[in-house]
Amino acid sequence: MEENNEQVPAVTEGEILSPPAESISIGDAMAGIFSEPGNTFEAVKASVKRNYWLIPLLILIAVSITSSFLVTHDEELVSEIKTQQKNAVKKRLDESVKEGKITREQADQQIEQTEKMFGGGMFVVFGMVGSVFGVLIIFFLKALVYWGLLKAFKGSAGYGDIMNVLGLTSLITAIQLIVDTVLAIVMGKLLMNIGPVLFITEEAVGKSMFTFIANFDLINIWYTIIVGIGLAKVSNLKSLITIPFVFVLWLVWVLLTSFGPFSMFMGR
């Protein structure tokens, strides 16, 4: 009987212990944001998939549309929104009249047109469409800002990596929006959330300060920390750099929308 002298190729230990890399599923990634965000972002970074942001963002858009629908069908909240918008328009037009850009009659006509525009079904449509575009514009613009500024810290994340971080963490924003909407409807006041704003009134501190304080929502702070962790994992930077980085950018935005030139976006 002849012996088989053919040699079997040697298999190294690394070939035995290193299975083919697997991509984390979108379901596991979404769940991992709440259970183990650090490991989840590392898995997302190493994955061959690149669109972990899409489904969470669609969920946020759906929640945003639902929230807008509920708010625009609540009489107390609608009255507050219309009052804020009317006052904001009147303030801008009064300034234009003082500067001689328009006449008092023209200003009154524009105020009347604004009141008609915010009446009936158009108010609901504008609210729902605005909520969709608001989510999309903020998402892509924020991703661009983070991507650009992280390059200054020698971060290795690509634009798609940043989108995945913001997309997955938008699930926290969706939870925040649900809680805030319920609180607003129950209490009959806008800008309600789980934070100090529950214990103060706009009349006591003024409009700008009330808007500023309303940003300090516990869920929003949670979101900011998780974003900082995510940016650290996908950029190969330390969280001691990215978490303060995210908080500083957030605080700048809060100041601009509360006291600065962008305060008009808050209806002030």
Q: What is the pLDDT of residues 217-247, one digit of tens each?
A: 999 999 999 999 999 999 999 999 999 999 9
195 vs 114, which has greater pLDDT? 195
Lowest mean pLDDT across 70-74, 93-97, 195-199: 93-97
Q: Does residue 211 lie within any of the structural domains?
A: yes
The predicted pLDDT at position 55 comes to: 96
CA distance 170 to 4: 62
Cα dihedral 71/72/77/78 (nearest 10): 170
Q: Does residue 1 lie within any of the structural domains?
A: no
97 vs 215, which has greater pLDDT? 215
The predicted pLDDT at position 54 comes to: 95
Q: Does residue 158 lie within any of the structural domains?
A: yes
Contact between residue 198 and residue 136 where contact means Cβ atoms under 8 Å apart: no
Lowest mean pLDDT across 2-11, 204-213, 221-230, 237-246: 2-11
Q: Does residue 163 lie within any of the structural domains?
A: yes
Contact between residue 176 and residue 226 where contact means Cβ atoms under 8 Å apart: no
Domain count, the chain: 1
The predicted pLDDT at position 263 comes to: 56
pLDDT > 90 fraction of the chain, expressed in percent and rounded: 53
pTM: 0.81
What pLDDT band is residue 15 in, cutting at 50, 70 and 90? very low
Mean pLDDT over 15-24 rounds to 57
Q: Does residue 133 lie within any of the structural domains?
A: yes
Contact between residue 82 and residue 118 where contact means Cβ atoms under 8 Å apart: yes
φ and ψ at 216, to 5 degrees? -90, 70
Provide the token pair at 105. 């009659």
Q: Does residue 9 lie within any of the structural domains?
A: no
pLDDT > 70 fraction of the chain, expressed in percent and rounded: 85
The predicted pLDDT at position 76 comes to: 87
Residue 31 has pLDDT above 90, yes or no: yes
pLDDT tens-place string over residues 42-90: 999 999 878 999 999 999 999 999 999 999 888 888 888 878 777 777 8
CA distance 256 to 248: 12
- Domain of residue 162 covers 50-259
CA distance 116 to 147: 42
Contacts of 138 by beta carbon, 8 Å cutoff, 6+ apart:
none
Residue 158 has pLDDT above 70, yes or no: yes
Residue 145 has pLDDT above 90, yes or no: yes
The predicted pLDDT at position 212 comes to: 92
Lowest mean pLDDT across 5-14, 185-194, 252-261: 5-14
Q: Does residue 23 lie within any of the structural domains?
A: no
Q: Does residue 44 lie within any of the structural domains?
A: no
CA distance 206 to 147: 36
